């Protein structure tokens, strides 16, 4: 990725930020760019946790404006430094903000406590939970949503943040009370003052990589630069964790060389640990036999069509079984998934 020190405005991006307050010391949170999908969901998490939440955006319109209004979260149309006085306990700076953004610049120049979205999510919500990170160029939102749905249906009540609204429950976030936090791991950069990929903040216990195909040419110089981001993510998964890789995608499968974690491969190839047989179309989706390490583990009805969704489902099966679910629990949950 582009290094901050190489940017012409590096002097505005590199500065000392005050440490983030502990959760019990936090009262007021302000989000710059609050109507973005991720930022709006983070605002919802802070609200659910009992904090006073507000924010601003240049474009305040449904559906996010409606969702925030329903929660009673005030949103300023447009940006003005006056919105930051008196100073909130925390300013979350959206990654669309540039160093000269009027509110972001005010927060920097006045020494306000600032964080990026992924930094705030990790510090206040992921913390020491079992972080299950879903990454990849394609399929992240569906796979994350399906994993959340399966864990919820199994009674595990995970925390989560998804980059879309799940049809089951019309939700995109929850704090949850269980041991897991499931997060869609985006490879885009974190903030103007932190050019690392968002997923580098998420402290993965286990991770899924669905695919790796060059993207985001605005922040990645070339293929090697893009690959290195996913290699770094693979390196974060600890030896006691699991890295689930799509065996049908050579770039994703190659990440096995870069992790200390146990690797499980899923896909439709003969060498996959988790695969599908007897695949056949069904009304509104498809049915298949789940095969784990060469043994049939049950029949699953997936109410989504297409090979890509079958691969997404196999990724979720791989991690769900690792987290202690029985194949029957996974099958029952997948049958009721309504999409995102």
- Asked whether the bond before 86 is cis by omega within 30 degrees of 0, the reply is yes
Residue 102: φ, ψ to 5°: -60, -40
Q: Is the Cα torsion angle 24, 27, 31, 36 positive or negative in sign?
A: positive
CATH architecture of 123-334: 3-Layer(aba) Sandwich (3.40)
In this model, does residue 88 exceed pLDDT 90? Answer: yes
Q: Return the CATH fold of 20-115.
A: Rossmann fold (3.40.50)
- pLDDT digits 0-9 by tens, 7-62: 999 999 999 999 999 999 999 999 999 999 999 999 999 999 999 999 999 988 88
| Strand arrangement, sheet containing 114-115 | 75-77, 52-57, 28-32, 90-93, 114-115
Asked, colleague to colleague, whether 20-115 and 123-334 share their fold, the answer is no
Q: Write the pLDDT tens digit of every residue in 266-296.
A: 999 989 999 999 999 998 999 999 999 999 9
For the chain, how big is the Rg over CA atoms in Å?
A: 20
Question: How many other C-beta atoms lie within 10 A of the C-beta of residue 78?
Answer: 12
10 Å Cβ neighbour count for 149?
25
Q: What is the pLDDT of residues 100-131, one digit of tens each?
A: 999 999 999 999 999 999 999 999 999 999 99
Domain ranges (residues) in the chain? 20-115, 123-334
At 318 the pLDDT is: 98
For 225-252, write each residue's pLDDT tens digit: 999 999 999 999 999 999 999 999 999 9
Percent of the chain at pLDDT > 70 equals 100
What average pLDDT does this structure show over 314-335? 98
């Amino acid at each position: 990725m582009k290094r901050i020190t190489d940017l012409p405005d590096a002097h505005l991006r590199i500065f000392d930020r005050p440490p983030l307050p502990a959760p019990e010391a936090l009262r007021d949170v302000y989000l710059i760019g609050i109507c973005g999908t991720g930022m709006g969901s983070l605002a919802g998490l802070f609200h659910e946790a009992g904090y006073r939440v507000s924010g601003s955006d240049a474009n305040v319109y449904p559906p996010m404006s409606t969702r925030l209004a329903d929660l009673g979260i005030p949103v300023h149309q447009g940006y003005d430094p006056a919105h930051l006085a008196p100073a909130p306990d925390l300013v979350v700076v959206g990654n669309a903000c540039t160093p000269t953004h009027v509110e972001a610049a005010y927060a920097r120049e006045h020494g306000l406590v600032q964080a990026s979205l992924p930094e705030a999510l990790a510090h206040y919500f992921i913390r020491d939970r079992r972080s299950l990170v879903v990454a990849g160029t394609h399929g992240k939102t569906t796979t994350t949503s399906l994993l959340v749905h399966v864990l919820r249906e199994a009674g595990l009540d995970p925390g989560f943040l998804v980059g879309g609204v799940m049809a089951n429950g019309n939700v995109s976030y929850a704090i949850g009370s269980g041991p897991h936090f499931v997060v869609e791991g985006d490879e885009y950069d974190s903030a103007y003052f932190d050019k690392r990929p968002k997923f580098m903040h998420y402290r993965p216990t286990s991770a899924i990589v669905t695919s790796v195909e060059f993207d985001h040419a605005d922040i990645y110089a070339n293929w090697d630069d893009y690959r290195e981001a996913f290699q770094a993510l693979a390196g974060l998964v600890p030896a006691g964790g699991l890295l689930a890789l799509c065996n049908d995608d050579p770039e994703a499968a190659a990440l096995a060389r870069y992790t200390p974690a146990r690797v499980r491969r899923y896909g439709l190839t003969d060498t996959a640990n988790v695969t599908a047989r007897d695949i056949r179309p069904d009304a509104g989706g498809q049915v298949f036999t789940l095969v784990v390490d060469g043994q049939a583990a049950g029949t699953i009805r997936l109410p989504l069509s297409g090979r890509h969704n079958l691969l997404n489902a196999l990724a979720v099966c791989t991690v769900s079984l690792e987290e202690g679910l029985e194949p029957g629990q996974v099958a029952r949950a997948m049958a009721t998934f309504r999409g995102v």
